[in-house]
Amino acid sequence: MSFNPDENSDPPQTAPARSEGLHPKLSMCRDVSVVIAVVVFGLYAGSGFLIPLVLALLAYVLIIAVSDHILDVLPLPVWFANILAVIVVLAGLFMIMYVLGSQATQMVRNFSNYENAFDNALHKLVALVGNDVTQYIHDSLVNIDMSFVARSAVGGATSFLSTFVLISLYVGFLMAERLMFRRKILLAANDKVFGQKLSAVMTAITRSLQSYVGVKSLVSAMTALISYSVFRWLGLEYAETWAVLTFGLNFIPNIGSIVAVVFPALIALVQFDSLTPFLVILFFCGTVQFLMGNFLDPALLGRSLNMSTFMVIISLTFWSSVWGVVGAFLSVPVTVCLLIVFSHIKALRPVAILMSKDGTIFDSDTERTS
């Protein structure tokens, strides 16, 4: 009987080696999943604290942008320009909440009348779009408790009014810390190079937010003023409320401008006996929204945000799921901040490239890199 030394030899260790190569990847995926789950839960659970803070940061960025524009036009001291900017921005926010809080209460009281008149208004659409489409609209809207929607909107406005003082306090302390904050970042970094990179990240975030908040505020204000003039000319009830909502809804990407036209158009359909006001709001205000959103807005923003349209939709879905309606307002600026931060972290730079519009991202060394 012959002896084959290969019979008792150990088999090749290919399987364990392959499994050892998989363990680090599985471990990394597990750790990333846990971190994402904890972060999402923290955002949801801490929304009561985080939402006023984020709103205060955006108000602070808008105040700085207004202050810089004032200094460009008028030779004033920096502290005086800052005070003027604080007064302008906070007064604007207060007026928006005051209009919503005062007129929305009256709107809720009269909402039963709108519900009763809605069935009659639908018959006006029969001659315009046909019986089938009208019946579909009725079946789609009849299951919506519009009074609950209105009460929720009033509750949101009242809640924001209650946190207005807190936001104002945040803004005041941020303004007081403005000059010292950059110096404290450099001291806390304990590394000159890291401190400069961190300062570059903060500068990029500030510039992008200033561009976004400033341009969106300007475009939204122009759209709201044009729409308000149409509402007042037609005699639409609660024209101020619809104008304020038009201003705010324009901050919600894509669907905000549609909602800003559909809601007042439906109210016109219920309020007036003729279809003319409904058609004027639907087509004229819709055309204004289309021109502002597709031509003026991109022309003023340019490449400052550089975020893909698909990522805008994803961010809108995510932040509205976590923070509700306020999350829809904050979806774009918060995602822009994340894109800039990811672009400065080597491991997350591929994610930033995928989030960008054309693969070009901000870099502290070369300003832009692809």
pLDDT exceeds cutoff 50 at 15: no
Amino acid at 306: N
DSSP code for 285: I
367 DSSP 8-state letter: E
First and final CA of the chain: distance in angstroms? 69
Mean pLDDT of 194-199: 75
Closest C-alpha to 278, from 118, 132, 151: 118
Strands 367-369 and 361-363: antiparallel
Percent of the chain with pLDDT over 90: 4
Distances (CA, A) of 21 to 13, 18, 189, 239: 13, 5, 36, 65
pLDDT tens by residue, 237-253: 888 888 888 888 888 87
Q: Picking from 206-210, 284-288, 317-321, which range would have the lowest pLDDT averaged per residue?
A: 206-210
d(CA 141, CA 51): 31
Residue 149: name the closest of 206, 104, 200 by CA: 104
The separation between CA 93 and the C-alpha centre of its own chain, rounded to angstroms, equals 16
**Of 102-106, 160-164, 345-349, which has the strongest mean pLDDT?**
345-349
Average pLDDT over residues 50-73: 84
Q: Is residue 33's pLDDT more than 50?
A: yes
Tell me if 99 sits within 8 A of 241, measured CB to CB: yes
Of 278, 275, 284, whose CA–CA distance to 264 is shortest?
Answer: 278
C-alpha torsion 214→218→224→228, nearest 10 = 140
Phi/psi class of residue 252: alpha, beta or left (left: φ > 0; alpha: ψ in -120 to 50)? beta
| pLDDT value for 239 | 86
Q: Name the residue with higher pLDDT: 345 or 80.
A: 80
pLDDT of residue 19: 45
Residue 352, Cβ neighbours under 10 Å: how many?
21
